[in-house]
Amino acid sequence: MTSHYDHAQVQEFWQYVWERDDVYALDEDATDPTYVLGMFPYTSGTLHMGHIRNYAITDAYSRYRRMQGDDVLHPMGWDAFGLPAENAAVERKTDPESWTQACIRRMREELETMGFGYDWFREITTCEPEYYRWNQWLFNRLYEAGLVEYEAATVNWCPDCETVLADAQVAEQDDERVCWRCETPVGRRELDQWFFTITDYAEELYDGLDELEGWPEGVREIQRNWIGRQEGARISFDVSTDNDGGESGDGDGTIEVFSTRPETIFGATFLAVSPGHDLAQELAAEDDEVAEYVATVREQDPDEVGFAGVETDATAVHPLTGDELPVYVAGYVLEDVGTGAVMGVPGHNERDHSFALEHDLPIERVISPPDETEREGEDLIGEDDGTGADHHGDVDETAPYTGEGVLEGSDEYGGLETTTARERLVAAHDAFAEDVTYRLRDWLISRQRYWGTPIPVVHCDDCGHVLVPDEELPVELPEFVQTTGNPLDAAGEWTETTCPDCGGPARRETDTMDTFVDSSWYFLRFLSPHLEDAPFDTDLADDWMPIDVYVGGDEHAILHLLYTRFFTRALADLGLLERREPIRDLMSQGTVLYDGEKMSSSKGNVVAPEEYGAETTRLFVLSAAHPEQDFEWTANNVRGAYDLQQSLYRMATDFVERGDARLERREHDEYVAREIDRTIAAITDEYERFRFHRAATEIQELARLLRRYCEYDRPHGEIYRRGLLTLAAVIAPMAPHLGEELWNKLRGEGLVVVADWPQPDRDTSSYQRERRLIDRTLADVRDIVDVAAIDGPERVELVVAQVWKYRAAELVGEAGAEDTAERGVDVGSIA
Ligand code: ANZ
Ligand code: ZN
């Protein structure tokens, strides 16, 4: 009698059958399929444990939904462009295309070995022209909609390789930033770069987060912080740039600053504009010192800028006091934040304070902490430093006070709370306008690399930059050549082209797109993967979107998940989509740990899944913890998953081969029948909530019960068979090969993958309650036995009394019963 489950053979057989019967293909006429998606993998060569866990989750859930009768969309594809492939190719003396395709072959085989059920007809690969042409087509649409900008931006530059370096290509060496290739210190350079103006959507993207109820609050909060909504006001200052006798010194006008604390205005002692501000440019044209400073800052690393700056000939007029304030150009003021200009309030802002110290500017306190105002006559400045500095106005080197409080030395606003003063000032003065700004920056999509989507633009001396017309797409990548800089710059023939507008000679854009562009809309391509005249089918998208469940690592909380939201909204505004949010439920899976560290190939601690067989790995990763929890990979627990399979297989084999069953009913049969129904109800509930680990526990318990059932007496044939079939069905989403094998043994026909999800034969709600009561009683008994063993029998009476009181309270207050059941009795505190 062979009752050993030979996983390799079983896996291969059922994988063949699933493919033959095309069981994962989605019916094209489905009206509203359940869309279950795992973040598609970057084609790095092999799957790691994070991938396996990710895809085990989506696979189990999609199989469960299919058995519940849903149409299910569960596709897979490859995030195939990117710098690592270019590096790998250079290292292995091949080209990125061959390397990537080899990775895809290997990874696809691994996915198939694991038995993940994908609709492979929908497979997409982002590095193939039939995919990336749509990146280019979408670029054109975004461009036409005004969402693309071409602007100078500062980039890392290696003077030796004469190339732009991505941040990831800049290495840290003895506190210096050096080129990863030649170790030359890296400089900065201004280059024209392509941007998507995601900032146009900042407000929407921020507000929309409130409605994403199916997203973890943590991810929403990370996005909120990233978008960085700031309420405040714009304040206008009259500025005069008249310098004595200057010929072109008639550039009078106003500067607007943005401040989150407009009520600190009485403490403003200077104005500062960023080196990129119009006023700085204007002044630089006349003032060598300013020009020199502007030029140095531009070449500096952001962390070198510090609080240097240059005073200009311009002066600003304080809108409330009429005082004249000096105007500086300062690198700490960022060009693309707020208005690119600030009022300097050194008494209450850290950066302004540092600047004031460096340039000997007055530091004034105009806000005091709420509790200090009462203490009449006391020194109100800063944390008391014992210098005895008196009332505001004096230079004081203590830290600025950045909190809320009460205004002082602020004319008629003195004595008001900061929040009140803020509102009144903004309402009362024309120079103030309420404003909201966002910290979010535009999305720089230019990469000076080869392995990405060519940006579909041509540069013409006469016409400027011109879009490549849709009918000429895709602009395909030329053959790969290995050079120091961007291989596309070296592709002479490829770069030379003609201008689509005037027909004159022109140069192709050699920047490629950030690979995050590829992943910003791939979930839409899965709907109609072979469509030839559009990136996706709008009608289908309206029917099938959103993604019902999206599972992936939380390292994507910002970039990827923000870009997908941006793209979806932009596409909706282009009329290509109705929905404005792409993802209903989001799940961030936890990390798989090994000896306390993240299991990763870079740490060399990845346990290759094939070592254990697909089923063991799948069962283990799902049963170890809730999908959102981290867990430790341990040989023991892996063994547990393996043993469960063997045991279920043996039970089914023994039953089928011996058929040693009873026909007439006995008393205890009813209990077993009820337990089967109860288990079905409980497991259904766990699957609905992604609690595969608890479903696995239920499975184990039912299996144990059925084994005892057989040991006690010959089992009732029908009941026992129903128990085994139930196990086959409910384990199938997690362990599909085993599920098929058991199903087939017991029924001799049909596939569990397309079977109906089991239903209880009766109302199980009362069994659930009974079961909980039994569990609790058992737990109590166990605790009491422990106490007896440790503290001796004399404590038992006390503990029993406490437990009784606790349970009685629970029965009375029904509402809290569920929680307390999970917490159990803390015997430690009782004893
Ligand atoms: C005056 C002021 C007084 C400010 C005060 C703050 C406190 P945080 O600091 O992150 O909350 N700001 C505005 N535009 C800027 C730019 N382009 N570059 C650098 N800093 C800029 O951000 C809000 C504050 O950042 C703004 O409010 C402004 O300084 C500064 F007691 O204005 B505040
Ligand atoms: Zn032209």
- Percent of the chain with pLDDT strictly greater than 90: 67
The pLDDT value recorded for residue 302 is: 73
- Closest C-alpha to ligand 1, atom 7: 349
Q: Which ligand is in closest contact with the Cα of 467?
A: 2
- Residue 10, token pair as written in the block: 């079983």
Work out the end-to-end distance of the chain between its first and last CA atoms, rounded to an integer number of angstroms.
Answer: 53
Q: How many H helices and E strands in the chain? A: 26, 30
| Cβ contact 748:705 at 8 Å | no
Protein fold of 229-438:
Isoleucyl-tRNA Synthetase; domain 2 (3.90.740)
User: How far, rounded to the nearest angstrom, does the alpha carbon of residue 246 sit from its chain's CA centroid?
Assistant: 55
* Domain residue ranges of the chain, discontinuous segments joined by +: 34-123+535-633, 139-197+443-513, 229-438, 634-762, 773-830
Burial letters for 147-170: b for 16+ Cβ neighbours within 10 Å, e otherwise?
A: bbebeeebbbbbeebebbbeeebb
The pLDDT value recorded for residue 611 is: 64
| Cβ contact 274:334 at 8 Å | yes
- Closest C-alpha to ligand 1, atom 20: 333
| Cβ contact 333:250 at 8 Å | no
Peptide bond into 546 cis (omega under 30): yes
For 453, residues 6+ apart whose C-beta sits below 8 A from its C-beta are: 81, 132, 135, 136, 512, 513, 517, 518
Q: Does ligand 1 have an atom closer than 6 angstroms to the CB of 418?
A: no
> Per-residue confidence at 602, pLDDT binned at 50, 70, 90?
low
For residue 397, how many other CB atoms are within 10 A of its CB?
Answer: 12
CATH class of 139-197+443-513: mainly beta
The pLDDT value recorded for residue 247 is: 44
Which residues, by Cβ under 5 Å, contact ligand 2, an ion? 460, 462-463, 499, 501-502, 504
- Over residues 25-50, the pLDDT tens digits come to 999 899 999 999 999 999 988 888 88
| Cβ contact 800:808 at 8 Å | no
Could you tell me the sign of the dihedral formed by the alpha carbons of 593, 599, 605, 611, in that order? positive
> Per-residue confidence at 829, pLDDT binned at 50, 70, 90?
very low
- Over residues 296-340, the pLDDT tens digits come to 998 787 778 899 999 999 999 999 999 999 999 999 999 888 999
User: How far, rounded to the nearest angstrom, does the alpha carbon of residue 697 sit from its chain's CA centroid?
Assistant: 30
Closest CA to 275 of 315, 193, 326, 334: 334
Task: Give the global pTM.
Answer: 0.85
Instruction: Name the DSSP class of 267.
Output: G
User: Across the strands, what pairs with 231?
Assistant: 436
| Cβ contact 179:166 at 8 Å | no
Let me know if 739 is exposed, middle or buried by CB neighbors in 10 A (0-12, 13-18, 19+): buried
CATH 1.10.730.10 fits 634-762, yes or no: yes
Instruction: Name the DSSP class of 167.
Output: G
- Over residues 508-555, the pLDDT tens digits come to 999 999 999 999 999 999 999 999 999 999 999 999 999 999 999 888
The pLDDT value recorded for residue 813 is: 62
- Length of the chain in terms of residues written: 831
- Closest C-alpha to ligand 1, atom 1: 259
For the domain 34-123+535-633, what is the CATH superfamily, name and number?
A: HUPs (3.40.50.620)
Q: Does ligand 1 have an atom closer than 6 angstroms to the CB of 33?
A: no
The rounded distance, in Å, linking the Cα atoms of 179 and 169 is: 7
| Cβ contact 754:23 at 8 Å | yes
Q: Which ligand is in closest contact with the Cα of 463?
A: 2
| Complex-level ipTM beyond the 0.90 threshold | yes
Percent helix / strand / coil, the chain, rounded to 5: 45, 20, 35
- The more confidently predicted of residues 827 and 602 is 602
- Over residues 68-120, the pLDDT tens digits come to 999 999 999 999 999 889 889 988 999 999 999 999 999 999 999 999 999 99
